Homo-oligomer: A and B are copies of this chain.
Amino acid sequence: MPMPRPLDAPTIALLGRAFGPDLLYDEAALSARSSDESGLAQAPAAVLLARTEAQVSRLLELANAHGFAVTPRGAGTGLAGGCLASPGGVVLDLTAMNRILNIDSRSLTATVQPGVLTGDLRSAARAKGLFYPPDPASLGTCTIGGNAATNAGGPACVKYGTTRDYVLGLSAVLPTGELIRAGVNTRKGVVGYDLARLLVGSEGTLGVITELTLKLLPHPRAAACVAAVFADLGAAMRAVIGIMARGHLPSAMEFLDARCLKLVGDLLPFRVTGGDSALVLVETDGDAEQTAREVADVEGICRELGATDLIPAATEEHSREAIWSVRRSVSTRIHEACAVYIPEDIAVPIGRIADMVAALPQVERRHGVTIYAFGHAGDGNIHLNLTAPDAALRPQVEAAAEDCVRLALGFGGTMSGEHGVGLAKRGLLPLELSPVSLRLQRGLKALLDPGHVLNPGKIFPPDEPEEHP
């Protein structure tokens, strides 16, 4: 298999002739595309700030002809290093392809370019009474193309599913430079193999998405939010399961463990006393009367199941926002508090969250690290933030992260619910995927990318001779 080579000066000159001012290679341009939110970094040798699908196609043709690597990139908000350049490779920046081409309020679809910000799409849909549900925490800054490439999730996924469930069809440039349309423009379609969903979540390794047709819903007319404190995480999780057991399907069900709750306790309208207390945050949506009634039911269930404190239900957008700010400020405060931190993203069956979190103190003791747990209780997706106060302890934090992955797998879970593998978790892949699965997945990669030029070195374990040394 041909390995991508670092760009040499003649090839950079050739790219300059092909793309003119859209090819960037000044230090600032390279530096601005050298990292994401994973803490990892790698500067590219050049950047194509693509304006058209034809440019994307041409770049990949040239990559195959000249043997260099191309890594597509949106806003760089990923947490797994999936958009980081190959050493000496080209970053294909798609943020300038950022037009909302159409929001069709009769067919309830949006057609967008990949660089559109997720929040902008949500706002444009809402202005027409429509709803694009996926809501990754970075929705104000992340791109819809990046969301599709990683199958991004968010709190609303417990009711509405992930990005994958909203991609009806897409246009993409294959690693060979060929153009393809996959999926449909309709709400249903079953003609041939599901290439659209093979590309969604493939972390930019199987194709470059250049246009998306997305499913929209009627916008819910109201929402209501409540937060409840429980004596410990076991009680909190019993409440989460109890809410669903009584027939409620909230539009968000988040939790914070005791450590996280302490970090944000000052944002609550009461003082949390118990040292093991955990917070559950529930939002429901629908029509106004229903959401009011449902959130009152949820309050009742929480009280019945032992809630020690409640932030009363909020229906106005700004008061809901006040509750959500408690949840959103957790990550920032962890960053501020800790010199080293690794954001893990395991998911376990909902019924095993409490077991998973109960196993964490042993990991902390074994490695001398501190773990903060919060996330999407309603779908079992726990953001574990493994931390240490001193950068020298990074190896211990990494070892603890691997232990957490093994624990999650032992509970029937997965190492990543929504962040993806990228560079950060590729070494752990054989813990989760069988040799048969890995071989088949490598076969898919080779089938679509025979020149091995598109985002090489991602997803698959690095012990294989895949990357340029």
Contact = CB atoms under 8 A, between A and B. Distances in A.
Given A187-B158, A244-B218, A195 B106 contact: no
Interface stretch (A272-280, A330-338, A440-448): A440-448
Interface in A183-203: 184-195, 197-198, 200-202
A249 B347 CA distance: 29
Interface string A104-125: 1111110000000000000000
A11 to B, nearest CB: 26
Interface stretch (A33-41, A43-51, A413-421): A413-421
A193 B294 contact: no
Which among A220, A241, A290 has the highest number of chain B CB atoms within 10 Å? A290
Nearest to A151: B190
A270 to B, nearest CB: 30
Contacts of A220: 247
Interface stretch (A173-181, A255-263, A395-403): A173-181
B289 A429 contact: no
A429 B189 contact: no
B249 A217 contact: yes
A259 B47 CA distance: 60
Nearest to A438: B192
B201 A190 contact: yes
A1 interface: no
Nearest to A150: B190
Interface in A144-196: 150-151, 153, 157-158, 161-162, 164-165, 174, 178-182, 184-195
Interface in A351-382: 351-352, 376, 379-381
A150 B190 CA distance: 7
16 contacts: A106-B350, A174-B436, A174-B440, A184-B414, A185-B412, A186-B379, A186-B381, A188-B376, A190-B416, A190-B419, A190-B421, A195-B437, A218-B244, A247-B287, A286-B286, A286-B290
